[in-house]
Amino acid sequence: MDTVMTTSPTGDEEIYDTLYDVRKEAEDIGNYVEGDPYAAMNARRAQAPVQRGFLRQLLDLPAYHRQAGALDLPGYTAFTFAACEQAFRDNANLSNAVYHLDGSPPKTLGILEMDNPEHFAYRQAVQSLFIRPKAQKWWRQNFIDALVEDLVKSLEGRDRAELNLQLFARVPVHTITRGVGLRGEDALVFRNALVGTNASRGGLQFRMESHATVHRMLMEQINKRRAEPGEDILSWLIAAQINPEGAELRPMNDEEIITFARLILLAGGGTTWRQLGIVFGALLANPDQLEAVKADRKLIDPAIEESLRWNPTNPLFSRIAVNDVELAGTLIPKGAFLDICLGAANRDPERWENPDVFNLHRPFQQHLGTGIGAHMCLGRFVAQAEMNVTINKLLDYFPNIRTDPDAPASYITGGLEQRGVSSLHVLLQ
Ligand code: HEM
pLDDT tens digits for range 48-57: 999 999 999 9
Q: Which residues line ligand 1 (CB under 6 A)?
A: 88, 96, 111-112, 123, 263-264, 267-268, 271-272, 275, 312-314, 317, 369-371, 375, 377-380, 382-383
Inform me whether the pLDDT recorded for 252 exceeds 60.
Answer: yes
Given a contact cutoff of 8 angstroms between Cβ atoms, the answer to whether 334 and 308 are in contact is: no
Q: 267: CA distance to ligand 1 center in Å?
A: 6
**Burial profile 286-316: b = 16 or more Cβ within 10 angstroms, e = fewer:** beebbebbbeeeebbbbbbbbbbbbbbbbbb
The mean pLDDT of the chain is: 91
Q: For ligand 1, atom 20, name the residue with the nearest CA.
A: 377
For residue 316, which of 279, 343, 346, 349 has the smallest C-alpha distance?
Answer: 343
What element of type H or E holds 190? helix 184-196
pLDDT digits (tens, 9 = 90+) for 177-213: 888 888 777 877 887 787 777 665 567 788 788 889 9
Q: Show Cβ contacts of residue 47 under 8 Å, excluding neighbours closer than 6 positions.
A: none
Alpha helices, H only, 317-409: 342-345, 380-397
Q: Count other C-beta atoms under 10 Å from residue 154's C-beta.
A: 18
Q: How far apart are the first and last CA of the chain?
A: 12
Instruction: Check if the beta carbon of residue 145 is closer than 8 Å to that of residue 153.
Output: no
Do strands 75-78 and 337-341 pair parallel, antiparallel, or not at all (unpaired)? parallel
Instruction: Give the ligand 1 atom nearest the CA of 96.
Output: 16
Band (166; pLDDT cuts 50, 70, 90): very high
Contact of 293 with 351, CB cutoff 8 Å: no
Instruction: Give domain limits for the chain.
Output: 15-427
Alpha helices in 197-315 (DSSP H): 203-227, 233-239, 254-285, 287-295, 300-310
Name the residue with higher pLDDT: 387 or 113: 387
Q: Distances from the Cα of 309 to the Cαs of 26, 157, 237, 312, 401, in angstroms? A: 21, 35, 32, 6, 25
- Using pLDDT thresholds of 50, 70 and 90, give the confidence band for residue 396: very high
pLDDT tens digits for 288-319?
999 999 999 999 999 999 999 999 999 999 99
Contact indicator for 171, 16 with CB cutoff of 8 Å = no
Q: What's the topology of domain 15-427?
A: Cytochrome p450 (1.10.630)
Task: Tell me the CA–centroid distance for residue 129 and ligand 1, in Å.
Answer: 14
Provide the greatest CA pair distance for the chain: 66
- Amino acid making up residue 366: Q
- Has residue 346 got a pLDDT over 60? yes
229 pLDDT tier (thresholds 50, 70, 90): very high
Q: What per-residue confidence (pLDDT) applies to 210? A: 85
| pLDDT class of 81 with cuts at 50, 70, 90 | very high
% pLDDT > 90, the chain: 72
SS3 386: helix
pTM: 0.94
